[in-house]
Structure 1
């Protein structure tokens, strides 16, 4: 009886610890498309002012990147908040901040910097590594991958990542940085969005080549797709971290 009670207490503490460790933060990926020639001005504004003002208003800077092939003059970055309500309150306070208003006016004396802003709201998956600052190697490149699952196949796709893909990526020299599912409007099926880190773009492509030939992956893929393919579309983009990014 005592042993059963001890096991029950241990299980209870384990469940509490797991609940405590669950990342329930509200994430937002923001993509800023700059007017021609204005990306350096945007990066300077973030480096010297914006990131600090974000933190002051309760936003957590997760990471900042620019695409390797940056034809759109874009900056990609991720913020986190305690909740959606906290996010909305933080952005309202940020927009009213006197320092931000001064910075925005001063930085745009020679014209507007940002042409368009896109926001993607996300939740962390249960198999994602902890999202935290990393300064492992400023020479690393990152890969942003977005998967559009086939209808009603997202859970199967997530299961495959949780049970197989995640570990096989690591086996082939890829660093799992973070995994999210998007929050879509009107009840649409979420997408899987994740970031990997590689020693270089060439190393990343070589790792994926080895991964695709791995018989464990082939078996896992074939088993999971007995009733049809799990993905409709896979998008990949290589990025480099900015010098002020919290993840490098």
Structure 2
């Protein structure tokens, strides 16, 4: 059943199957402007993340936007070996007495006290050129989230191929530190890919991207007809990790 799900997803996205691929759940919480976020932070830090860790899910990332973006958002990144593993973990949480105890306050608060309006749960599958999440060094705490939208599935396939064949090597050459990379399975910007980069600060971010733009391999591949119209929109969000983030 697990292999069938991966095969079906690969057909849908015209992307090659990789046995090392991971699944990422990326949650985006739309926070209320005039309510304290402490309830959500306590739930994530003291209930959900410890429970996920007990199930072998490690390096859970929690971020907020850098700057004064309104309305505020909280981002949570959770990695799984497979989609089936995601289902098994959350089935296990339902039977975890410690998790039930730790999340009791969160589960019983009044609706008017919940600090967010809703959250979107986006699922992403890693690609062959970057199959596994990499925890960044401790001094890299300035993050850039990038979402590349394509106008159809084949355009997305070509953009992913561009990364697999060339761009990941350019990233290494110029010093771009990738945390995760994948093609989205679900979300409101489909079809698209999503990735996260880590830097020391905004200055390093600007310096490294300047090197990328001038790299001879980048200058070569952007002229290839194969990659024409592979991407038609970019979303960039700068993030900073919360104190209890494991990334």
Which residue of the partner structure matches residue 48 of structure 1? 46
Partner of 1:51: helix, strand, or coil?
Answer: helix
Asked if structure 1 preserves the Cα contact closer than 8 Å seen for 2:133 and 2:179, the reply is yes
Which residue of the partner structure matches residue 146 of structure 1? 147
Which residue of the partner structure matches residue 4 of structure 1? none
Partners in 2 of 1:243 and 1:184 — Cα distance?
A: 29
Change over 3 Å in CA distance of 1:39–1:162 after alignment to 2: same
- Number of corresponding residues: 223
Aligned-residue offset at 1:52: 0.5
Partners in 2 of 1:239 and 1:179 — Cα distance?
A: 16
Q: TM-score, normalised by structure 1?
A: 0.76
Aligned-residue offset at 1:101: 4.4
Partners in 2 of 1:82 and 1:209 — Cα distance?
A: 34
Which residue of the partner structure matches residue 118 of structure 2? 116
Partner of 1:153: helix, strand, or coil?
Answer: helix
Structure 1: 5+ residue stretches without partners: 1-20
Which residue of the partner structure matches residue 229 of structure 1? 229
Asked if structure 2 preserves the Cα contact closer than 8 Å seen for 1:138 and 1:241, the reply is no
Partners in 2 of 1:32 and 1:76 — Cα distance?
A: 6
Max Rg structure? 1
Aligned-residue offset at 1:98: 4.6
Change over 3 Å in CA distance of 1:197–1:115 after alignment to 2: same
Query: What's the RMSD between the two structures over aligned residues?
Result: 2.8
Which residue of the partner structure matches residue 163 of structure 1? 165
Change over 3 Å in CA distance of 1:171–1:133 after alignment to 2: closer
Partner of 1:131: helix, strand, or coil?
Answer: coil
Moved more, 63-72 or 104-113: 104-113
Structure 2: 5+ residue stretches without partners: 1-17
Aligned-residue offset at 1:80: 2.4
Partners in 2 of 1:33 and 1:144 — Cα distance?
A: 17
Change over 3 Å in CA distance of 1:211–1:58 after alignment to 2: closer
